[in-house]
Amino acid sequence: MKKIIIIAFIFILSGSFKAFAIDEIQQGATLSVQDCVEIGIKNNPQIKIYEQYVKMQDYAVGRSKASYFPTIGASIGHDYGNSDSGFRATQNRGSSAKVALNQLIYSFGKVFSKVKMEKFYKIAAEYDLQTAILDVSNSIKSAYYAVLGAKANVDIQKANVLVNERQYNRTKAFFDEGLVSKIDLVNQEVYLSDAKINLVSAENLYQNAIVQLNNAMSVVNAPDYNIENTETFNFKSNYAEVNLLNIANTTTKADGTIEPKEAVLTMQVEKTNILENYKFTVYPYTLEESIERAYKNRPDLLSMQATKDAVNENLKYAKKSYLPDLTGSVGYNWGNNNYYSTNGITLGAYLTMSNLNIMDTNLMIKESKAQLEVAEQNVELVKQNIYFEVQNAYINMIQLEKNIPLMQTKVKQTLENYELADARYEVGLGNFIELQDAKENYNNAQRDYVQTIYKYNVALTDLQTAMGEK
């Protein structure tokens, strides 16, 4: 019940928090993935709420220890009485004052159990905070890799526009020479238009990815900034160059510039991989090892185990409710009425049981036992969920890990095919459709390769999160 109230409190408060742009992001800055994670952790309202919850539990621990400290009591009063016995009427007036210092000497373990219970709840709160940090870190990393993927796709589409522009110029030159038909020129115009449309779409997706990253970092009104490539997502932004054939056959323009005369344009397709210096390392742990690491590290599991320990201490406290408290007291009393006055110091030791209700205490013990059983089952439920979560993330990551070298091979193969088709078309042995198919296949292979790397990074992040590693 306590955790339910706190969770409801968190959801109510979360709607009233606002994120603000922070000084860590400067105009034109370049952020690493770790920079983004740190900014997000600092800004996230949910994390701030859990930080306050940890403080609340710390105060609860302090309050539970307060029973070890003495209490001070004081009172002052005035009494007036009037009685008539039939023979004589009397009036009584008096004043009194009392101050006392009370100290718990021994509670038979009740206070000790209560302190331990609150300490375990504090531990659970700290692990809940770590879970929130882990979730925020995962969201930011996923959004970060999405930006890298979108950025790479923009560069691919820019290169595709460049290639299609060069292809159009070459096709037009062929058409002017009567070497190709009008339909080839018109088709190339369509391909160039499509390439430009795809570039606009890619740029829009990139902007949306930036917005999602800002949202994950809880930053609004963010200035323009750049992000770094990561070791597992390091791509080139230059995919195609242009050379001119028949460069020796040139003409000099009036402004002094030299241009080829009757030259034919051709694409020198980029021969390096999209991902430059890409360090692909096979994941070092087996599924069983990954699950064991998750059981050891997952903060939500550790939180549930701490909650179980707290509930167990609450059961011990309930069982000790039958036992009395041994207290000591020292005080000073003063009194004065119509007949006499008194004052003096009092000392005492008392063994007390405060309003013991046997039936209520017995039911409280049974309720605590049921709560402990629920807590134990919750631990097993979280462990079971962790097992399948890690297993699912592991399978996804391994599948993408296997796809990466296959995609690398596909990029090289489509590149080779494109170069062959380009050479055949150059000398008149290949047709326009064959060339366009080869170009599209190469462009799609590059895009699919980047998408595979993006998915792999996200899958690896999900697996690390499932294992409780930030």
User: Could you tell me the residue range of the domain that residue 375 belongs to?
Assistant: 2-78+95-466
Q: Is residue 457 part of a domain?
A: yes
State residue 338's pLDDT score. 64
Indicate if the pLDDT at residue 78 is higher than 50: yes
Q: How many other C-beta atoms lie within 10 A of the C-beta of residue 32?
A: 13
State residue 101's pLDDT score. 87
Q: Is residue 311 part of a domain?
A: yes
Domain count across the chain: 1
State residue 294's pLDDT score. 95
Q: Is residue 85 part of a domain?
A: no
Q: Give residue-wise pLDDT tens across range 419-434.
A: 888 888 777 777 778 8
Least confident segment among 259-263, 278-282, 293-297, 425-429: 259-263
Q: What angle do the packed helices 110-176 and 182-216 form, to 10 degrees?
A: 160
Q: Give residue-wise pLDDT tens across range 196-244.
A: 999 999 999 999 999 999 999 998 888 888 888 877 777 665 443 333 3
pLDDT band at 280; cut points 50, 70, 90: low
Q: Give residue-wise pLDDT tens across range 297-351.
A: 999 999 999 999 999 999 998 888 888 888 888 888 887 776 667 788 888 888 8
pLDDT band at 81; cut points 50, 70, 90: low
Which residues share a beta bridge with 337? 94
Q: Is residue 61 part of a domain?
A: yes
pLDDT band at 2; cut points 50, 70, 90: very low
User: What number of CA atoms fall less than 13 Å from residue 220's CA on the CB side?
Assistant: 4
Q: Is residue 119 part of a domain?
A: yes
Task: List the CATH number of the domain containing 319.
Answer: 1.20.1600.10
Percent of the chain with pLDDT over 70: 82
Structure tokens given for 316: 């011990």
Structure tokens given for 52: 């306050």
Q: Is residue 83 part of a domain?
A: no
| CB-based contacts of 305, cutoff 8 Å, min separation 6 | 379
Query: For the chain, what is the mean pLDDT?
Result: 80
Q: Is residue 424 part of a domain?
A: yes
Q: Give residue-wise pLDDT tens across range 85-99.
A: 555 656 667 787 888
State residue 91's pLDDT score. 65
Q: Is residue 41 part of a domain?
A: yes
State residue 266's pLDDT score. 33
State residue 95's pLDDT score. 80
